[in-house]
Structure 1
Amino acid sequence: MNNNDRVLSIPLKKTDPVELYQPLRNLVASKYSEGDAQKVESVLETLNKCRRDMVERRADLSLPMQRDCLLHYFKCLSMVAKLFTSLSSDADPILFVWYDAFNPDHQDGVSSQRSAIQLEKAAVVFNLGAIYSQIAASCDRTTALGRHLAMEAFKVAANFFRQLWQVFAKDVVATLDLTLVFAEFLHLLFSAQASELELREELNNNDASYALQQHRCALSFISVYELYSRAYELIPTDSAARKHVDSFDQTWVTHLYQKATFFEAEARQRQSSILPKSKRPKFSSVTSCALDHDAECVPEILVRGICCGVRKVLYEERKQTYIDLNLSEYNPFKMMKYGKLVAYPWDMPPPYPTDLAILSSSLVSLSSDILAFIPLKKSEPLNLYESLRSYFVLKYSESVAERVDGLLEMLHKLRNEMLRDDLSLPLRRDCLMRYYKCLCMIEPFFPMNASPNPPIFVWYNAINPQQHSSQHNIHLEKASVLFNLAAICTHIALSCDLTTVQGRRLAMDAKKDASHWFYLMSMFESRKASGTIDVSRHYFHVLDFQLHEMELMFLVPRPDEPSLSGYPVSAYYPSTSGPPLAYDPSSDVTQQFVLGYSNAHSLLQRVCRAAPCLDLLSEVSPVKIKDGNLVANAATLEAPNLALENLSF
């Protein structure tokens, strides 16, 4: 295609500083108690630091670090949102002042209404879309990997502006860049740019028949034309929007007109290639291009592996955020004993210490008959690094192997860690999840038929250790890892202190997590893994029945909504010993904060789920993309050992 290769990105909105910690802490202390204020002060401190970094450190931060700061701030902001509705008329107001992103002179800044947080959240969502647009525009689109990352980043930018348009900008009196028309325009613009990059990839797709490829391309040209056309038509029809665009860059309208005209002509030319319904394949939607097995594309193949595998499996809708809040070493928000919340700065490298007080080893013996049902699978050690590296050297070259050396190093490290019996249950769970992501990345290279020394995975039957399976099948490895993830979650569930509501809630979420991993093992890996019977689809039904029986142990009656505090079960459970506690969930500040976090986490998961590969740009990712190479993050290589040293059992 010979049309203009220029892509549009937008600047971030700027804001005036504001002090949040002390006013919000005073509010919590007055509305709840000083003890409650101490429970959440860590979140308030992190909220204040994030906002200060947005204002004062922006020039010092890379684009991915700015993204991480904004994501962390949005979660903190969602946790405290309900506090703003509690500000009394005689309290000092908290005012947020934001300026138009396209007005460099900072004229006509808009202030929020008294005690209103809508403007702040809308502005942060705008900036999240803007930073993703800048990440996309900064990618080297002359390489396959750069085009792929740019495409994914534009998709996420479009998703954020869709949220702004449909949710956050409503009823907000703000500058022109936050109007509904402009939010819809930006959603369409970045959707069009993402679709155009996807179309460019599709034109190089050789994994389908000629007729199918032409059919897909014709549909794609029509889709891209419609997006550019709708974006272009929004501006001239709205006088304020047209005046606004002309004030910062008059070439935008011309650019959109040229794009719409070009793709309209191409779409008309290719309409004859659209197959009739009777000849269309079952799945005819446009997909990313095929994996080109040449030296230039090796990092891209690995990155797309995480897109295909992780998007399908780990980014499935998971509502069990409570287990992560309590136990994950890498979650920067933690729920401690008696409802204390701990939040770590967005730029603090993992691991974060975990308080295991919610787990009670004494209960394991009470449930040993159930615990014995789902032991962990055992595996033989394997030098995965040497085996995979020699494959890349032989199949491609030494330079290609060097480009992915960091991933191979992390893969080997994580496999060794997941087999350690001295790790705590939360540590092993984190390690298994990270190892599974790395397996998704290398899956496209299996089977390694060209390797003289392919990796052989040996796994023993968890139920009958005398049986084992030994084969060069990555799906056996993946199925076994998912099995162990589920088994670990059952061990966590059965280790919880069931005398508290917090312990029962954690146990219930751990049980649901176990069901989630067993289901994914059955759906995505078992059908391709001819291993021991414990990872077969047939055995999944046996395990699922056992998990259902286990669930009866953890049920917590819910008068309104479940408590996320550490109050005794007698607060809800009249049948337990001790007088029932009078408890109103709305009076629990920890409950309110965690519900806000859960809502924000779910929203961000939906918006960003299309592009898990962009996490590889983060400074805290165990494997990072740097200059087109995959490098290991040294800080996370030693994380399990550091966390183990700090644990108090």
Structure 2
Amino acid sequence: MSNEYRQLLNPETVLSIPLKKTDPVELYLPLRKLVASKYSESDAQKVESVLETLNKCRRDMVERRGDLSLPMQRDCLIHYFKCLCMVEPLFTSLSYDADTDPIIFVWYDAFNPEHEDGVSSERNAIQLEKAAVVFNLGAICSQIAASCDRTTALGRHLSMEAFKVAANFFFKLWKALAKDVVSATLDLTLLFAEFLHLLFSAQASELELQQQLNNNDAGYALQQHRCALAFASVYELYHRAYELIPNDSAARKHVYSFDQTWVTHLHQKVTFFKEEARQRESSILPESEQPDVFSSVISCALDHDAECVTEILVKGICRRLILKPQQIYVDLILSEYNPFKILKDGKLVAYPWDMSPPYQTNSAILSSSLSSSPLSHILAFLPLKKSEPLNLYESLRSYFVLKYSENVAKRVEGLFEKLHKLRNEMLCDDLSLPIRRDCLIRYFRCLCMIEPFFPLNASPNPPIFVWYNAINPQQDSSQHNIHLEKASVLFNLAALCTHIAVSCDLTTIHGHHLAMDALNDALHWLSLLRFESYNKACGTIDLSEQYTRMIKNGIASLKLKFPHPQSVCISSTFSVDLFLVQLIDVNLDLLNCFIWMIQVTPYDRSRSGPLAETRPQYHKSKMKTCHVETGPSDVIRQFLLGYCKAHSMLQMVCEAPCLDLLSEVSPVKIKDGNLVANATLEAPNLAMGEHELAGDTTVTFLNKL
């Protein structure tokens, strides 16, 4: 192995970019005045919390940047972007109102520290602001990636994921936002957005290649085949990025003024990977011998060190869930951990980005008695499964001490503490529906993190999961199989969603939408249950594929007969059908992003660098957008559509679950390479459990079940 090749295994140099800077601007007063004049004072009161949070986020983004950690800056930008998308229709109104002073945003080139040649925008203000925020989200993710300790397995994994997210942000900037910005600085041009997308994609792919070189999960021939294709793919990305800069005089001058070593660095990368890819061309297997699927490592066959163990746990959460459709009313009304809420009478609340969850829930639309619902007789067949208590903390910690070491066990025991606490909490019978739902979701995510270590063959007393048949409690299943635990949790999530649907007050428009979303959520969990049960969890009959199919058919049939609220005028309120149509448009936009990314990802010889006969062509299909109509009677609807658009983009394209573990608001955090329970969230949780919420615009928790 050459010295240059050894340097690849532990690269010391990666490129990251600075954030764009901007001048302060007041947003709350002019936007609130606009809402009050164009809609009504009542409407202004309903959305003023969002406007206040929007203003605070931007002020913190400008004034507190030096005091915030990189993950906290990311949290602030994400929160601000969601608020910004919610108020976007207001800027459309501003641009056509000659009597209103425009809001002027001024942004400076990220690569010019002297703040020269700043660009301002009046009539296209919101487009410049959104583009600049997405740029900064990509920039902050690149800085997070560069700051990770890439000498450890966990650090390389986090760095790789952060570079992927950075690349996705610049892809969004390149394909959707930069083209709408007029007279922008050079860093917001299509050329630079494409360049930064390719650069960070290349750096992420290079780190992924390092993981492949360290993994021995396949035979020698297959491993060499994978590496050959990966080297070629990394070369292609660096080559395309390098070609964009020297061939454009303005871009070349701009990069040289920022850092002259960038072009040299890229040239070295292109030269090295081109040579390595050509040397490995002979390792590519004939098509007849290539496997159909390149699966990732799902076992813990790694060295016994804490970094590798922690990385396995972090990877587990990255594989945790299939992308699910956004059930906006479930999250905006019932989730304790969603910082945006719909409260009584349709008021929207946006909690400050730096306020720790849990947040207030709105249970007013749920009936006080399940039996009073017109749906109760239809869905009464789906009770929750019961389980025996289990001390997961002791079992898991003992296993890690025996399998690895006391030091390794200490580094990850925070996760075991959280897992044990969540399991005990989910078994409590006196929890409200919203609290139990959040608990089950968080517990399921933790189970996905520890799944790669099962079965615990080295443990003298592996945990025994005991679950009773939901239909016939006299029957039970006792297994060491973690898939029984996951399948049972998914069953309870689906059952709980049907309970939410049954308990909704269908005479209100929000109750109607929440019930529909809850049923859609139930179908999602049942789909995951079918995947988890198939050849993985042989439990009680209620987990069987036949029973799951029967429940799904029942829910689908119920949705067709779903009653409409009688006490409100549907034509004058938020149409769920229109909402779903526009949501589909958003997801098609995101799907096009994924299709393009798949077309240029590794493992396709016809598209791989020096091995390819032709360069890959970009996916040129026109991507759909979510069109939000402006009107004098629907400010809440406009805000909700904007929220959905922003949240879907961030969730499906630009967020990595493992990066959430760096956030201050994550229940389990990565701190100094350890997995720890976030103590800052415990006090609010205790307070929420001891006191009911009260206030003019806030309602109490659900009655005890």
Instruction: Give the TM-score normalised by the residue count of structure 1.
Output: 0.94
1:102 aligned to 111, 119, 129, which one?
111
Match of 2:667, as an amino acid? P
Instruction: Give the SS at the match of 1:625.
Output: strand
Q: Find the counterpart in structure 1 of residue 456 from structure 2.
A: 448
Q: Deviations over 1:454-495 (max 9, x none)?
A: 111000000111100011010000000000000010000011
Instruction: Check if 1:190 corresponds to 2:200.
Output: yes
Superposed, 1:462-611 pairs within 5 Å as 462-556=470-564, 562-563=574-575, 587-609=633-655, 611=656
Instruction: Write the mapping of 1:595-634 to structure 2, written as runs, cut at 5 A.
Output: 595-609=641-655, 611-634=656-679
Cα distance in 2 for partners of 1:459, 1:540 equals 17
Q: Deviations over 1:594-625 (max 9, x none)?
A: 1100000001012235x211110000000000
Q: Per-residue deviation at 1:293?
A: 4.4
Answer whether contact 1:379 1:460 (CA < 8 A) is retained.
yes
136-145 or 599-608, which moves further after superposition?
Answer: 599-608
| Offset, 1:72 | 0.2
Find the aligned partners of 1:11 and 1:94 in 2 and give their Cα distance.
25
Distance 1:458 1:286, change over 3 A: closer
SS of residue matched to 1:459: strand
Rounded Cα–Cα distance in structure 2 between residues aligned with 1:213 and 1:291: 16
Question: 1:143 corresponds to which residue?
Answer: 152
The correspondence for 1:331, drawn from 332, 335, 338, is: 338
- Following TM superposition, by how much is the alpha carbon of 1:635 offset from its aligned partner in structure 2, in angstroms? 3.1
Distance 1:475 1:363, change over 3 A: closer
Q: Secondary structure at the match of 1:267?
A: helix
Give the 3-state SS of the residue equivalent to 1:554 in structure 2. coil
2:253 is aligned with 1:243 = yes
Pairs within 5 Å for 1:278-427: 278-284=288-294, 291-296=301-306, 297-308=308-319, 310=320, 312-313=321-322, 316-362=323-369, 364-366=371-373, 367-427=375-435
For the residue of structure 2 that corresponds to 1:6, the secondary structure is coil
Whether the 8 Å CA contact 2:103–2:122 is kept in 1: the answer is: no
Deviations 1:308-349 (A, max 9, x none): 2x2x43xx1322122100110000000012210011000000
Measure the CA separation in 1 of the matches of 2:234 and 2:472: 55
**DSSP-derived class of the 1:236 partner:** coil
Which range moved further: 14-23 or 371-380?
371-380
Q: Secondary structure at the match of 2:670?
A: strand
% same residue? 73
Secondary structure, aligned partner of 1:342: strand
Comparing 39-48 with 109-118, which one deviates more in the overlay?
Answer: 109-118
Aligned to 2:139: 130
Q: CA deviation at 1:354?
A: 1.0
Report what 1:227 is aligned to: 237
- Aligned equivalent of 1:433: 441
Post-superposition offset of 1:411? 0.3
Q: For residue 53 of structure 2, what is the aligned residue in structure 1?
A: 46
Letter in 2 for 1:487: A
TM-score scaled by structure 2?
A: 0.86
SS in 2 for 1:167: helix
Q: In the superposition, relative to structure 1, how do residues 304 and 268 fare at CA in structure 2: closer, same or farther (>3 Å)?
A: same
- Give 1:208's aligned amino acid: A
Query: Does residue 207 of structure 1 match 2:253?
Result: no
The answer as to whether partners of 2:502 and 2:515 remain within 8 angstroms in 1 is yes
Picking from 231, 245, 264, the partner of 1:254 is 264
Deviation of 1:636 (Å): 2.9
Structure 2 unmatched runs, 5+: 577-629, 694-699
Q: Tell me, in whole angstroms, the C-alpha distance in 1 between the residues paired with 2:298 and 2:88.
A: 39
Contact 1:378 1:462 in 2 (8 A): yes
Provide the C-alpha distance between the structure 2 equivalents of 1:559 and 1:291, rounded to a whole number of angstroms. 59
What is the root-mean-square deviation of aligned Cα atoms in Å?
Answer: 1.9
Q: Aligned partners of 1:561, 1:41: CA distance in 2, in Å?
A: 20
Task: Report if the CA contact (8 A) 2:109-2:185 is conserved.
Answer: yes
User: 1:356-399: CA deviations, max 9, x gaps?
Assistant: 11111245334432232100000001111111111111111111
Q: Does residue 69 in structure 1 map to residue 58 in structure 2?
A: no
Distance 1:8 1:334 in 2: 39
In 1, distance between residues paired with 2:291 and 2:285? 9
Structure 1 consecutive aligned stretches of length 4 or more whose deviation exceeds 6 Å = 285-290
Structure 1, gaps ≥5 residues long: 565-583
The 1-side partners of 2:298 and 2:536 are apart by 23
Tell which deviates more after alignment, 457-466 or 166-175: 166-175
Cα shift readout 1:73-118 (whole Å, capped 9, x = no counterpart): 0000000001001111121110000000011100111001236210
SS at match of 2:180: coil
| Aligned partners of 1:560 and 1:585 also within 8 Å | no
Query: Do the aligned residues in 1 keep the contact of 2:437 with 2:496 (CA within 8 Å)?
Result: yes
Corresponding pairs, count:
626
Instruction: Please tell me whether the aligned partners of residues 195 and 241 of structure 2 are also in contact (alpha carbons under 8 angstroms).
Output: yes
Distance 1:637 1:221 in 2: 46
- In structure 2, C-alpha distance between the alignment counterparts of 1:522 and 1:285, rounded to whole Å: 20
Deviation at 1:141, TM superposition (A): 0.3
Q: 1:532 to 1:52 in 2, by over 3 A?
A: same
Match of 2:688 among 628, 633, 643: 643
- Code of the aligned partner of 2:365: I
CA contact (8 A) 1:206 1:290 kept: no
- Partner Cα distance (1:40, 1:285) in 2: 47
Q: Is the CA contact 2:477–2:539 (under 8 Å) kept in the aligned structure 1?
A: yes
Aligned partners of 2:631, 2:517: CA distance in 1, in Å?
19
Report the residue type matching 2:99 in the other structure. D
How has the CA–CA distance of structure 1 residues 289 and 140 changed in structure 2, closer, same or farther, with 3 Å as cutoff? farther
The C-alpha deviation readout for 1:427-455, integer Å capped at 9, x for no partner, is: 10000000000000000110001111111
The structural deviation recorded for 1:305 is 1.1
Q: Distance in 1 between matches of 2:301 and 2:26?
A: 50
> Which residue number corresponds to residue 575 of structure 1?
none
Distance (Å, rounded) in 2 between the aligned partners of 1:562 and 1:340 = 14
- SS of the residue 1:513 aligns to: helix
Contact 2:27 2:55 in 1 (8 A): yes
Kept in 2, the 8 Å contact 1:10–1:134? The answer is: yes
User: Matched residues in 2 for 1:115 and 1:123: separation?
Assistant: 13
Q: Distance in 2 between matches of 1:39 and 1:283?
A: 51
Contact 2:336–2:438 (Cα < 8 Å) also in 1: yes
Deviation at 1:7, TM superposition (A): 0.2
